Amino acid sequence: MNFIHENFLLHSKTAENLYHSYACHQPILDYHSHLPPGDIAANRKFANLFEIWLEGDHYKWRAMRANGVAEEFCTGNAAPYEKFAAWARTVPATIRNPLYHWTQLELKRYFGIDELLDEHSAKSVWERANLALQNDGLTSQGILRKFSVRIVCTTDDPCEDLVHHRAVATDQPGFRVYPTFRPDKALLVSQPKAFNSWIARLERASNIAVLSLQTFLDALKQRHDFFHAQGGRLSDHGIPYCYASPCSDREAEGLGAHPLSNVGYPLALTWSDETTPFLFRGYKYTRELSAVSGAVWVAYSHEPWNVTLPMHTGAKVSISAVPPAAYIIPAQWTHVIDVLAAHQVIIRRTTAEWTAPVETYRCHDGNWQQPPFEGHHPMFAGEGSKGHPGEPPKCTLVTETMTFPANSAVVELNQRLSHVAMAWLEPMAPDSAMAWNAFDPIFEQREYGEAYVLEKLAREMMAKDPKLKTEFEQRVENDPKFAASPRARLEFFYDHSPWHDPKLGLYPVGRLTKLDGVPLR
């Protein structure tokens, strides 16, 4: 008996009766396929077995790769027969996998070939199948008619124009082809290059400018309605992760505007709500108060304890900055410049003193870690903080007129190591020069007022300036930390006095939006 016979996979008389008396005569309604609609519309005639069988079958490619077949014979430039021969060598290794049964079943049903495919039968199968493909009954439309296919649902990106579906509907070849809405690429937000490219396609297809979450959803709805008008009634989503905590529309709206204009460069990441179930294999434990340490003692047993937990699998941007055209670093900050040079960042120098309005930052409220960490007291939580971790300052982007001496360093960002420059020179970046104490002097307050002086000064300033008095009172009402600090309340008035140091907390590095007028070598 041949491997494929009339009762293949029918293991009882009931199964045989149900299939032969009822099922086999029914038309096929294929609600999920990967058939190229262009091939169907053109009634493609296939030149050889590779074209109809291996040209776009990712299931076969996956099996071939797993069998050690080089990519040249999967999706590369090898000749059609060489690719087919590589598949023939793979087929025996797929036994007990549906691919094995599909292969032999298709050879029998389409080409009448009972010979099992392997490397020895490859040449014979290739020649017999190619001869059969010259028959008009094995064109793309001929095959669908031969097997009584009435409906085919293809898998289509929302940006597709569905021109081939409309062509089939016009030709009326004896079956119908409907689109299936598959918006997988709408979820590629973690892959900006691919996502931005797809957004551009979506805008062209929908004729809607995607400027916000709402316009993004509007564009998708327009395409959904278009698919519906072409007969589409199904949607197919390939979702790679199980989302444990979906964000609200408001949170999503705040993640950014149009992705092509949202040019903030990520400086730090944190976990997103994207998770996947993870089987944690651990041991049972108890928690009890320790007589030794006086703290809670976690004591593990040797009894296994397996529990499924949500594992974070995605990240989101927690700190970002819009890249300038270049940074300019005053010549006296030699250590900051030397670190960039050690990383082979391209640096140019100014030939003369230069004064101009530039973007920079005003920073305040940072804390230094008390115990040293790698020879520093960083402005972040390093190891061994012993309850006194560092904390990065709060920095506000401002425009200031600043003077830079001759030989100041200019770092343009149109270079390969631009990301290194931003990570070092953006003060809020977790490993920035500021975080590693390179700019500590800007936080040193060299002039200050004694409390007894500031108490009197504060009252005089509020009497003369009602707006200042209102600002102070609102700060006390709305900022509990400020309200609870006598020192902060008095320094509020010192900061508004003529004696305040205007350079306190002023970041000395300038951000240039253009290089016009900068005296460069």
Helix (H, G, I), strand (E, B) or coil at 485: coil
Query: Which residue, 66, 127, 138, 51, is CA-closest to 97?
Result: 66
Residue pair 240/274 in contact (Cβ under 8 Å)? The answer is no
- What pLDDT shows up at residue 222? 97
Helix (H, G, I), strand (E, B) or coil at 112: coil
- Reduce the secondary structure of 186-200 to three states and give it as a string: HHCCCCHHHHHHHHH
Nearest-angstrom CA–CA distance, 374 and 436: 10
Q: Compute CA distances 49 → 1, 70, 88, whole Å.
A: 26, 20, 12
Name every residue whose Cβ is closer than 8 Å to that of residue 504 and which is 6 or more positions away in sequence: 442, 443, 445
CA angle 257–261–267, rounded 5-degree value: 85
For residue 286, count CB atoms less than 10 angstroms from its CB and return exposed for 0-12, middle for 13-18, buried for 19 or more.
exposed
- What pLDDT shows up at residue 255? 60
> In 10 A of CB 162, how many CB atoms?
21
The whole-model pTM stands at 0.54
Domain regions of the chain by residue span: 265-317, 323-446+505-512, 451-495
pLDDT lower than 70: segments of the chain? 243-245, 254-263
Q: Which residues of 404-428 are buried (b: 16+ CB within 10 A; e: fewer)?
A: beeebbbbbbeeebbebbbbbbbbb
pLDDT tens digits for range 222-271: 999 999 999 999 999 888 777 666 777 777 776 654 443 446 889 998 88
CA 367 from centre of chain: 33
Residue pair 377/370 in contact (Cβ under 8 Å)? The answer is yes
- What pLDDT shows up at residue 432? 95
CA 269 from centre of chain: 12
pLDDT tens digits for range 108-130: 999 999 999 999 999 999 999 99
- What pLDDT shows up at residue 259? 41
pLDDT tens digits for range 350-399: 999 999 999 999 998 888 988 888 998 988 888 877 778 888 899 999 99
Name every residue whose Cβ is closer than 8 Å to that of residue 163 and which is 6 or more positions away in sequence: none
Nearest-angstrom CA–CA distance, 170 and 148: 20
